[in-house]
């Protein structure tokens, strides 16, 4: 903690705040600096737990970088997810650590119905990370997640809908078969949203679902993505 405090940067803290990051207990240490420190520290589960319990922003990011996925329990995942209070902590923890645990896919399903905005974001941020980093997973795992994406696309909370969209786009860029499935999912979401809007043009679920689907389709149908397949 002393080493983190020694790297305090008020300029960086101000920049973090401009991007909507909670800096109530933050030093302003950059992620690249934290990764260099994590490499020097190596894997240390007990250290990760202690860093997390400090409550400090950078300490929690660092905890996700040094923890051992094989030592992480479901209870720890639930406890850490309940502590999320900033989008960057959520996204770093899910992509550095949670997606590498044996419980990752189960937690995607479980957290996808959470009332808490950060826990629900964690579900789809984990899914987005799995789509990129779990190279050996069969397509069936992601077809299940696409069903969750379709079901939850109407959640209009900013940090949830962006993560739902993120998961949809990442799954659609995984391979040709999932690309087609993601396109179908986005089109189904859009059709459902249009049906809701026909009844009430101001329906917030329709607005959220339309954004999720249209933004995903824009990328998935781009020449850059299509050339990959």
Tell me whether residue 28 is in a domain.
yes
pLDDT of residue 187: 98
Domain range for 161: 87-228
Whether the CA torsion 54, 129, 96, 27 is positive or negative: it is negative
pLDDT, block means (10 residues), the chain with 229 residues: 92 90 91 96 98 97 98 98 96 98 98 98 98 98 98 97 98 98 98 89 91 98 94
pLDDT of residue 155: 97
In three-state secondary structure terms, 95 is helix
pLDDT of residue 29: 93
Residue 56 sits at the vertex; the CA angle it makes with 53 and 59, to the nearest 5 degrees, is: 80
Residues 128 and 219 in one domain: yes
**How many domains in the chain?**
2
Q: Residue 46: CB partners within 8 Å, gap ≥ 6? A: none
Residue written as tokens 């250290």? 47
Tell me whether residue 61 is in a domain.
yes
Q: Which of 125, 127, 120 is nearest to 141 (CA)?
A: 127
pLDDT of residue 159: 97
Q: How far is CA 19 from CA 13, 100, 151, 180, in A?
A: 10, 27, 29, 34
pLDDT of residue 23: 87
pLDDT of residue 81: 98
Residues 94 and 22 in one domain: no
- Which of 14, 38, 67 is a domain's end point? 67
DSSP alpha helix (H) spans, 56-201: 57-66, 74-83, 87-96, 104-111, 117-133, 139-152, 158-172, 176-199
- Which of 35, 67, 99 is a domain's end point? 67
Largest distance between two CA atoms of the chain: 58
pLDDT of residue 75: 98
Tell me whether residue 73 is in a domain.
no
pLDDT of residue 165: 98
Q: How far is CA 181 from CA 12, 133, 173, in A?
A: 41, 19, 10
Residues 93 and 9 in one domain: no
């Amino acid at each position: 903690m002393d080493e983190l405090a020694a790297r305090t940067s008020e300029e960086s803290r101000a920049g973090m705040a401009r991007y909507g990051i909670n800096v109530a207990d933050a030093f302003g240490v950059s992620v690249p600096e934290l990764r260099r420190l994590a490499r020097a520290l190596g894997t240390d589960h007990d250290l990760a737990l202690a860093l997390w319990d400090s409550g400090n922003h950078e300490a929690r990011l660092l905890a996700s970088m040094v923890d051992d996925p094989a030592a992480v329990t479901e209870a720890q995942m639930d406890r850490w997810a309940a502590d999320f209070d900033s989008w960057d902590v959520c996204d770093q923890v899910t992509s550095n650590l949670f997606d590498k645990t044996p419980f990752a896919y189960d937690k995607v399903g479980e957290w996808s119905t959470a009332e808490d905005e950060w826990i629900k974001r964690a579900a789809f941020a984990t899914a987005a990370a799995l789509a990129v980093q779990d190279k050996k997973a069969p397509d069936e795992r992601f077809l299940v997640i696409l069903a969750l994406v379709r079901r939850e696309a109407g959640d209009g909370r900013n940090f949830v809908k962006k993560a739902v969209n993120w998961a949809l786009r990442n799954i659609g860029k995984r391979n040709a078969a999932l690309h087609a499935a993601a396109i179908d999912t986005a089109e189904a979401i859009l059709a459902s949203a249009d049906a809701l809007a026909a009844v009430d043009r101001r329906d917030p679920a329709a607005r959220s679902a339309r954004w999720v689907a249209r933004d995903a389709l824009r990328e998935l149908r781009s020449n850059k993505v299509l050339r990959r397949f």
